[in-house]
Amino acid sequence: MSGADTRQAAAQARITELRAQIEQHNYRYHVLDDPLVPDAEFDRLMRELAELEAEHPELVTPDSPTQRVGGAPAEGFEEVRHAVPMLSLANAFSADEVQDFDRRVRGGLETESVIYAAEPKLDGVAIALTYENGRLLRAATRGDGQRGENVTANVRTIPSVPLRLRGGGWPHRLEVRGEIYMPLAGFRAYNETASAAGEKTLVNPRNAAAGSLRQLDPAVTASRPLAFFAYSVALADGLADSHSAAMKQLREWGLPVNPEARTVQGAEGCLAYHAELQRKRERLPYEIDGVVYKVDDRTQQDTLGYVSRAPRWALAHKFPAQEEVTRLVSIDVQVGRTGALTPVARLEPVFVGGVTVTNATLHNEDEIRRKDVRAGDWVVVRRAGDVIPEVVSVILERREGASPEFVMPVACPVCGSAVERIEGEAVARCSGGLFCPAQRKQSIRHFASRHAMDIEGLGDKLVEQLVDGELVHSVADLYRLGVEQLAALERMGQKSARNLVDELQRSKRPELARLLYALGIREVGEVTAGSLARHFGDLEALMAADEEALTAVPDVGPVVAHHVHAFFREPHNLEVIRALQQAGLEWQAPREAAGPGPLAGQTWVLTGALSMPRMRARSLLESLGAKVAGSVSRKTSVVLAGEAAGSKRARAEQLGVEVIDEEAFRRLLAEHGLQAD
Ligand code: 9MJ
């Protein structure tokens, strides 16, 4: 063999090895969600392969991982006829409809109970992938179900779509169907970069996926963060005798399958799954608009067959829509705890996100301008999960004669004080401070709230009466309220008055961090309150600190330092603190100041979805003396793994680091007298 031949043979061997390694890493990352190596190592392998292929262009093959983006922009998309039509799904919106479906299925099969495969319903673009001898040959959109478009060049750029199947035993021709979608993190990151560069942003993840696939230049598609989940197999006689087994097989061949998929029994199992996914919805890394149930057994599917263009054996059970259209009656202005004026849309009642909504936030004046929202407009209202409903956009086509533009009032609508808007800030504020009854009411509500002083029984209506009736001017006055005084108020009886006075008594020994949070200092949330309490140990030291001393506290920057400093220079605030002391409040020094916490010396890592905010888990751990780190190493003491924990959990298990779930974490907190919620 000549020297050149030997070099080429060596290059070929290394190329084969690199491709296999890269494919393995892709599989671990996209299918198993459990990467073996850091991104940098993966990038290094890709670079080495690209360099070798550049030196030996004759060794490049179309299914090499370097060849995802290829060719010049196309003129248009060629039409593709689907050998097996791509069907749509029948929809259901209620439990009754799901029960009807199950009844029809059982009737059709003459059986008592049916096993269903249940999976999330992604809202993206349906796609058919054809593999021939394990190689991706073609990708086609659904189109009208009979004919779609050939978007192979674009789909090849999606990293989670394998160009070659893993393992073996696949049929000569395999057609896999599934959904192309844009994960939320990618959608947000893309928009952040685009908007910083002054480029057009993507409207929502669904449109983004559809628009990205319809690009004539595959390089543009490649720049969009798309992903793929497989959810059915066409043309696969004898592949597997159930849907769930077919999905398992696809996963082994390297196709990503949704990890939330389950098999369930009967309508009851379906409905429980629906409820579970609805709870999980906000924590999933992609948008879903419902769940899909499919009769799992293939023979049973064939028995049931099809009606018009949908299978009788499948049902899409949609979640309540998160966006609806209604009429905006008027725009009011609400005053918050810190005096922030928030424009609020009063709406004609509309059922959205599972509840009737009559008010939605418009955020601030600039947002109203940007969206050009006017009284009388038809607007799109969004309510997602527990998030406050908001006005997303105006349907300008439906505007009949425009109302005047909204202007922020120059005087506070509640107390009449001047409204100020600092240059460069989006928020306008009432300058009335605690003179303003609205600010007073909100600060009392905040003081009593669960994560602050946790005073039960001090609801909105009661606070309203206390402030309007001049019984309470500041939070300190709460501690002077007597049972008889409270019992005389509307909707209060002796018993609830007594309970509230007891609650107030009980709240007189708060931890310093809770009290700091309860005082409602601007920009001081629970975590910052915890840091301040630990750093200074007592209130007097904190009150005496200058801005420089404050910025020495972990997590405290100049803005927070400024607000904290200003708060303790305001005579009214000092008066309230003295009055609280006179009323008998004694705050407790933070645990660390009293000695090292029970978890001192431990390093914890949080991963996966927890039912409490991450920050809360973190501050609870810190209050017990633990440190919280971002990545798992041999030095990690414990990994707290929430739902859908992925690579960090795997790494911990690999290193033999203790992994606990949320339930165990809550038990540990309880042992140390802490409550998570
Ligand atoms: C979505 N969109 O997530 C199906 N789908 O099955 C799932 N769509 C489907 N299955 C047969 N999970 C036709 C459509």
Domains assigned to the chain: 3-67 (1.10.287.610), 80-318 (3.30.470.30), 323-398 (2.40.50.140), 437-582 (1.10.150.20), 603-671 (3.40.50.10190)
Q: Which two tokens stand for residue 418?
A: 């001047």
Cβ neighbours of 529 (radius 10 Å): 24
pLDDT for 270 equals 98
Is-contact 285 185, C-beta < 8 A?
yes
Confidence of residue 592 (pLDDT cuts 50, 70, 90): low
In this predicted structure, what is the pLDDT of residue 197?
Answer: 85
Beta bridge partners of 330: 346
Token pair recorded at residue 211: 């628009």
Choice from 87, 121, 127, 141 to test ligand 1 binding pocket (greatest atom count within 8 A of CB): 121
User: Which stretches of 489-646 are assigned E, i.e. beta strand?
Assistant: 603-607, 627-629, 638-641
- Rounded Cα–Cα distance for residues 191 and 202 (Å): 6
Judged against a pLDDT cut of 90, whether residue 194 lies above it is answered with no
Element (H, E) at 155: helix 152-155
Which residue among 292, 294, 315 has the greatest number of ligand 1 atoms within 8 angstroms of its CB, and so is best to mutate? 292
Compute the distance between CA of residue 289 and CA of residue 267 in angstroms, rounded to an integer: 19
Question: What residues contact 96, with CB distance under 8 A and at least 6 apart?
Answer: none
Distance 310 CA to ligand 1 centre (A): 11
Give per-residue pLDDT as tens, 417-426.
999 998 888 8
DSSP symbol at 457: T
**How many CB atoms neighbour CB 636 within 10 A?**
20
Q: Yes or no: say if 308 and 286 are a contact pair by the CB < 8 Å rule.
A: no
CB of 179 closer than 6 A to ligand 1? Answer: yes
Which residues, other chains included, contact 462 with Cβ-Cβ below 8 Å and sequence gap of 6+? Answer: 489, 491, 492
Predicted confidence at residue 595, as pLDDT, reads 61
Query: Of 241, 222, 225, which is closest to residue 233 (Cα–Cα)?
Result: 241
DSSP 335-393: E-TT-EEEEEEEEEEEEETTEEEEEEE---HHHHHHHT--TT-EEEEE--TTSPPEEEE
DSSP H/E element including 234: strand 227-234
Provide the percentage of residues in the chain whose pLDDT is more than 70.
98
pLDDT bin (cut points 50, 70, 90) of residue 655 is: confident
From 87, 89, 274, 281, the mutation candidate for ligand 1 (largest count of ligand atoms within 8 A of CB) is: 89
CB contact at 8 A, 208 and 164: no
pLDDT band for 154, please (50, 70, 90 cuts): very high
Query: What pLDDT, on a 0 to 100 scale, did the predictor assign at position 127?
Result: 97
Comparing 65-79, 283-297, 570-584, 587-601, the range with the smallest average pLDDT is 587-601
In a 13 Å sphere around the CA of 369, the CA atoms on its Cβ side amount to 6
In which residue are the tokens 């603190």 written? Answer: 577
The answer to whether residue 384 scores a pLDDT higher than 80 is no
Q: Is the pTM of this model over 0.85?
A: no
Q: How confident is the model at residue 76 (pLDDT cuts 50, 70, 90)?
A: confident
CB atoms within 10 A of CB 349: 9
At 594, is the pLDDT very low, low, confident or very high (cuts 50, 70, 90)?
Answer: very low
Tens of pLDDT, residues 527-550 = 889 889 988 988 999 999 999 999
The percent of residues above 90 in pLDDT, for the chain, comes to 65
- Measure 231 CA to ligand 1 centroid, in angstroms: 6
Using CA atoms of 466, 472, 477, 480 in order, give the dihedral in degrees to the nearest 10.
-50
Q: What's the rounded mean pLDDT across residues 147-152?
A: 94
Residues in Cβ contact with 645 at an 8 Å cutoff, skipping those fewer than 6 apart: 607, 608
| Residue with CA at minimum distance from ligand 1 atom 8 | 121
Tokens, residue 336? 């918050």
Label residue 665 by pLDDT band (50, 70, 90): very high
Mean pLDDT rounded to a whole number for the chain: 91
Q: Which of 288, 161, 251 is nearest to 213 (CA)?
A: 161
What average pLDDT does range 194-215 have in this prediction? 87
For the Cβ of 258 lying below 6 angstroms from any atom of ligand 1, the answer is no
Cβ distance 142 to 128 under 8 Å? yes
Please check the confidence at residue 72 and state whether its pLDDT lies above 80.
no
Instruction: Identify whether 121 is a catalytic site residue.
Output: yes
Look at residue 593 in the predicted model and tell me its pLDDT. 47
The alpha carbon of 233 and the centre of ligand 1 are apart by a number of angstroms equal to 11
Summarised one tens digit per residue, pLDDT across range 357-382 is 999 999 999 999 999 999 999 999 99
State the average pLDDT over residues 54-83.
Answer: 88
Q: Verify whether ligand 1 is closer than 6 Å to residue 142 (CB atom).
A: no
Ligand 1 centre distance from Cα of residue 121 (Å): 6
pLDDT, position 342:
95
Residue-level pLDDT at 533: 92
State the pLDDT at residue 92.
Answer: 94
| pLDDT tens digits, one per residue of 387-425 | 789 999 898 889 988 789 999 999 999 999 999 998 888
